[in-house]
Amino acid sequence: MLKTILSISGKPGLYKLVSQGKNMLIVESLADKKRFPAYGNEKIISLGDIAMYTDTEDVPLKEVFLSMKKKENGAAVVMDLKKATADDLRAYLAEVLPTFDRDRVYPSDIKKLIVWYNLLVASGMTDFEETPAGETKEESKAE
Backbone phi, psi, residue 127, to 5°? -90, 80
| The pLDDT value given to residue 138 | 41
pLDDT at 112: 92
The reported pLDDT for the residue numbered 7 is: 93
For residues 26 and 35, give the distance between their C-alpha atoms in angstroms, rounded to a whole number.
7
Residue 85 has a pLDDT of 92
Residue 131: the pLDDT is 54
Give the integer Cα–Cα distance in Å for 45 and 110: 17
In order of their start, the domains of the chain are 2-47 (2.30.30.730), 50-122 (1.10.10.1650)
Contact between 126 and 74 under an 8 Å Cβ cutoff? The reply is: yes
What is the model's pLDDT at position 29? 93
Q: What is the mean pLDDT of each run of 10 residues along the chain (143 residues)?
A: 88 92 91 90 91 92 90 85 91 92 92 91 80 44 41
Amino acid at 4: T
